[in-house]
């Protein structure tokens, strides 16, 4: 005998679909800059902080990250259960178009592949934040992870990988458009209950990451198109294909 779904659940699902609204706006309302100011209200920042706290609670309550088991956790667990939820929490409901998403499947970096040349494989960061603009995908954030407990050599190697990926990303962006500025930041994640000051520094870093993403997306949207990209687009739009003729 099949278990029947409670009517309250059916009603909740119907209400959810009926009331769903796509709150993403079509474009950023103004040209923003990196000027050491928050781009959102205190209320919005507080709501984002609550979302971050929800993710931290789940992490702190997960026995997999207790001292007894943490050494056995692989990189995939760290990415899936810690890094991605915290990034999603901090970047949720960005005031931007629908064309942004978080890539978490070690997708090949378009910027890295572009630098290496035709036929070459690009690097595959663990996580990337991507934005589509003028029919082109841009990689605005890169994340490289390791096991929670790793060697100093691994940290140094990942730092070098990030440096290369960011340089590739910057070069890729500037080939198509000219945004004004670029900023990046590195942070340490408190995976177990920590002091209020440690949590404050971590939350501040995630809020700064969000603030930087908002400004960088704005700079991308308001950037001027390079001459080569403009000519390429105009050439593509003006191309007329001739009709095909077939012999009887």
What pLDDT digit, counting tens, does each position of 202-232 carry?
888 888 888 888 888 887 777 666 655 555 6
What pLDDT digit, counting tens, does each position of 88-134 carry?
999 888 866 567 788 777 677 766 666 666 666 666 677 888 777 77
Q: How far is it, in rounded angstroms, from Cα 113 to Cα 46?
A: 39
What pLDDT digit, counting tens, does each position of 50-85 carry?
999 999 999 888 887 777 766 666 767 777 888 889
**Among residues 85, 62, 61, 65, which one has the least CA distance to residue 74?**
65
Distances (CA, A) of 64 to 34, 59, 67, 189: 39, 9, 9, 15
Residue 105 covered by a domain:
yes
Residue 102 covered by a domain:
yes
The boundaries of the domain holding residue 99 are 39-223
Percent of the chain at pLDDT exceeding 70: 56
pLDDT (0 to 100) of residue 6 = 92
Residue 237 covered by a domain:
no
Residue 126 covered by a domain:
yes
Residue 2 covered by a domain:
no
The count of domains in the chain is 1
21 — pLDDT class (breaks 50, 70, 90): confident
Residue 26 covered by a domain:
no
**This prediction's pTM:** 0.66
Residue 33 covered by a domain:
no
Under a CB-based contact definition with an 8 Å cutoff, are residues 162 and 142 in contact?
Answer: yes
Between 164-173, 190-199, 217-226, the lowest mean confidence (pLDDT) is in: 164-173
């Amino acid at each position: 005998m099949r278990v029947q779904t409670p009517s309250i659940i059916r009603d909740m699902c119907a209400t959810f679909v009926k009331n769903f609204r796509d709150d993403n706006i079509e474009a950023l309302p103004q040209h923003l800059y990196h000027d050491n100011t928050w781009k959102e209200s205190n209320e919005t920042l507080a709501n984002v902080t609550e979302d971050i706290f929800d993710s931290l609670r789940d992490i702190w309550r997960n026995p997999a990250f207790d001292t007894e088991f943490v050494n056995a956790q692989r990189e995939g667990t760290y990415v899936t259960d810690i890094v991605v939820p915290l990034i999603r929490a901090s970047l949720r409901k960005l005031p931007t178009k629908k064309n942004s998403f978080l890539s978490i499947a070690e997708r090949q970096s378009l910027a890295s592949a572009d630098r290496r040349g035709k036929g070459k494989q690009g690097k595959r960061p663990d996580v990337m934040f991507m934005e589509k603009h003028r029919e082109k995908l841009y990689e605005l954030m890169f994340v490289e992870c390791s096991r929670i407990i790793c060697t100093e050599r691994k940290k140094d190697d990942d730092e070098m990988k990030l440096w290369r990926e960011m340089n590739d990303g910057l070069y890729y962006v500037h080939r198509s458009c000219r945004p004004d500025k670029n900023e990046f930041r590195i942070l340490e994640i408190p995976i177990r209950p920590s002091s209020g000051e440690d949590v404050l520094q971590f939350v501040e870093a995630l809020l700064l990451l969000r603030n930087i993403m908002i400004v960088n997306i704005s700079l991308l949207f308001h950037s001027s198109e390079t001459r080569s990209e403009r000519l390429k687009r105009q050439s593509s739009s003006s191309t007329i294909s001739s009709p095909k003729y077939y012999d009887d």
